Structure 1
Amino acid sequence: MVKTKAIAKTEKRILITGGTGFLGTHIVRQFLDAGETNLKVMASRVPVWMKDAGVKAVEGSVTNRDDVAKACKNVSAIFHLAGKVSRDNNDAAAMNRIHLEGTRVLCEAATEAGVQNMILASSSGTIAVTEDDQIVDETYPPPVDIILRWAYYASKYFQERAAIENFNRDGQRLVIMNPSLLLGPDDERLSSTKPVLDFLGKKVPYSPGGGLNFVDARDAAAAFISLRKKADIRKSICSVPKI
């Protein structure tokens, strides 16, 4: 009798693109603290501490089809956080390349790999912006005329459209999260906290009108993680009341 060699079952992993950024780092840490062992992080460089913790590293770009195809193999869910934060409209091309092209590439690769769940990190700037005192939420139509004034918010708005159009097969679930300004520890690249430092350093010469929401990055990370198994949720916004 010929004995067949048993094939080891490989557990599918959770892919986190941009998992080394401000929000991504908190998501990875919270997953690890909860005992999650099947994590995969895609970034240009993955730190040693993540690799030592058992996180599978895929070093590459979300705009590179080969890198993304490799990252999407054997994945059960994707947290798509990869992006570029800039308040300079001269960075529009770079942000569009990452947010639009990268998202299309990822959605196509994820579909090809059979991934059914994706949680996309967008911004409250695609929803919660007005020129009056009206408080809006995710049920309101996007204020496109206002959004298009800022390259970052415009790129995030069109990123959402790209995800909706390209990750919509039967059985696929897309959740778009729209957190407001992230604040908290471990913002090593100062992607969110630089305006605070500039204010404290008296580099902000005036204070414009209007309001701004913010959320603790650790709370936002917990909210993202909680959505992985909430199949009834399709779209959400993560923010705090205006203060």
Structure 2
Amino acid sequence: MILITGATGLVGSHLLRRLVLGGQKVRATYRNSIPVSDITHLVEWVQADILDVMALEDAMQHIEQVYHCAAVVSFSPDQKKQLQHVNIEGTANVVNAALNAGVKKMVFMSSVAALGRIREDVAIDETMNWTPETSNSEYGKSKYLAEMEVWRGIGEGLNAVIVNPVIILGAGDWSSGSTAIFKSAYDEFPWYTEGISGFVDVEDVVTAMMELMQSTISAQRFIISGANVPYRSVFNLIAKAFGKKIPSRKVSPLMAAIVWRVEAVKSWFTRKKPLLTRETAKTAQAKVNFDNTRLLQTLPTFAYTPLEVSIDRICAELKVKYQLP
């Protein structure tokens, strides 16, 4: 029996589908309501918040493998406490429950934000960690400290692997998260930056996690990154796949600095989340490269999907999901 936390998120939902359709017995946690899909009836759903120790202990019974994907992803300053509670305390609870239940192996989905992703002078690899100088977000700090809980569990006998994906591309909820990139391109958002980052297909993330779970590998972390690409190039590919205009107006660092400050003031008055924060403004301007060689050397048969192929497929899936022309 396999347990997935965060099974309603982008990675968790794709992982759930792959496992279930592959004939695996899967138990998945949910917080408020069970998602409705064509595979809902094939899943054992249990209501369990990772901050609820008792519910988590119950969910972990008779489980051999755990994919811990539940997390809060936010770059909004007002969500600092929630990031700490869910990402750090929640992960500690999952680790403790897995140890108590005698789980055979856990794969923890972290983030490259835990590596300190604002490093423009050197490629980021798995030897690096978050520091105040190399990270600009509370999210990155929370994922780094969550990893520390996993390493603690490993020290106490838990067989576990950590994965650090870059920006994940997939047909999720395009009103939030990384899938919002696709909605922006579809809406013909005219602005672009000259920043560079790593991008990866959600299906590749799922494949890597499943292969690492089935391997004998333990007590290691792996960057999952298909390619280091300019944000502008990604927006252009998405716009072309949707048949939309490509971005044509460059955002300068000065302009970004002004906009995030204006958004901060607007957010204070409206009590709505800002469209741009200091963290996201800085990240969008940074030119960052990620070294993906460790995973490729560890899993010789694994290969990343070309970015163009991923974007064409995801845009087609989003057209169906949102009934787009």
**Fold shared, TM-score > 0.5 on shorter chain:** yes
Which residue does 2:221 correspond to in 1? 235
- Pairing partner for 1:105 from 93, 98, 101: 93
Number of the residue aligned with 1:43: 30
Q: Supply the AA of the counterpart residue of 1:210.
A: G
Query: More relative contact order in 1 or in 2 (CA 8 Å, sep 6+)?
Result: 1
Q: Sequence identity, in percent?
A: 26
State how far apart, in whole Å, the 1-side matches of 2:15 and 2:198 are: 21
2:149 alignment counterpart:
162
**TM-score calculated relative to the size of structure 2:** 0.64
Residues 136, 90 of structure 1: alpha-carbon distance in 2 compared, 3 angstrom cutoff: same
**Which amino acid counterpart does residue 187 of structure 1 have in structure 2?**
D
Specify the SS of the correspondent of 2:222. coil
Mapping of 1:81-96 within 5 angstroms?
Answer: 81-96=69-84
Q: Which amino acid aligns with 1:52?
A: H
* Secondary structure, counterpart of 2:11 in structure 1: helix
Correspondence 1:23 to 2:11: yes
Partner amino acid, structure 2, of 1:231: T
Q: Which runs of 5+ in 1 are unaligned?
A: 1-12
Q: How many residues align?
A: 226
1:1-243 superposed matches below 5 A: 13-36=1-24, 38-44=25-31, 45-49=33-37, 50-53=39-42, 55-127=43-115, 129-138=117-126, 140-170=127-157, 172-187=158-173, 190-198=176-184, 201=187, 205=191, 207=193, 209-233=194-218, 234-243=220-229
Q: Tell me if the contact between 1:181 and 1:213 (Cα under 8 Å) persists in the aligned partners.
A: yes
Q: Is the 8 A contact 1:130 1:143 kept in 2?
A: no
Q: Distance in 2 between matches of 1:189 and 1:60?
A: 25
TM-score (norm 1): 0.85
Assess if the C-alpha contact under 8 Å between 1:111 and 1:167 holds in 2.
no
Q: Which stretch of the first structure deviates more once superposed, 229-238 or 71-80?
A: 229-238
The answer for the alignment partner of 1:7 in structure 2 is: none
Equivalence for 1:6: none
AA partner of residue 105 (structure 2): N
Q: Alpha carbons of 1:152 and 1:203: their partners in 2 closer, same or farther (altered >3 Å)? A: farther
Q: Which amino acid aligns with 2:143?
A: K
User: C-alpha distance in 1, partners of 2:56/2:88?
Assistant: 14
Distance 1:206 1:236, change over 3 A: closer
* CA 1:241–1:146: 2 relative to 1, 3 Å: farther
Q: Distance in 2 between matches of 1:203 and 1:146?
A: 31
**Contact 1:15–1:39 (8 Å) recurs in 2:** yes
Compared with structure 1, are the counterparts of its residues 189 and 226 closer, same or farther at alpha carbon in structure 2 (3 Å cutoff)?
Answer: farther
Please list the CA deviations of residues 94-128 of structure 1 after superposition, one character each: whole Å capped at 9, or x if unmatched. 11110101011111111111113110000112226
CA distance in structure 1 between the partners assigned to 2:190 and 2:86 by the alignment: 29
Note if contact 1:80-1:119 (Cα within 8 Å) is conserved in structure 2.
yes
Is this contact kept in 2: 1:22–1:188, CA < 8 A?
no
> What's the secondary structure of 1:31's corresponding residue?
helix
Q: Is the 8 A contact 2:110 2:147 kept in 1?
A: yes
Q: Secondary structure at the match of 1:192?
A: helix
CA distance in 1: counterparts of 2:180 and 2:189, whole angstroms: 11
Of stretches 160-169 and 175-184 in structure 1, the one that deviates more from structure 2 is 160-169
Alignment CA distance shift 1:59-1:31 (3 Å)? same
The root-mean-square deviation of aligned C-alpha atoms, in Å, is: 2.0
Partner residue in 1 for 2:288? none
Q: Distance in 2 between matches of 1:122 and 1:57?
A: 23
Whole-angstrom distance in 2 between the partners of 1:30 and 1:43: 18
1:47-93 per-residue CA deviation (whole Å, 9 max, x = no partner) reads 2434412x111112000011111111110011000011112122111
Task: Return the structure number with greater helix share.
Answer: 2
For residues 104 and 135 of structure 2, what CA distance do their matches in structure 1 show?
31
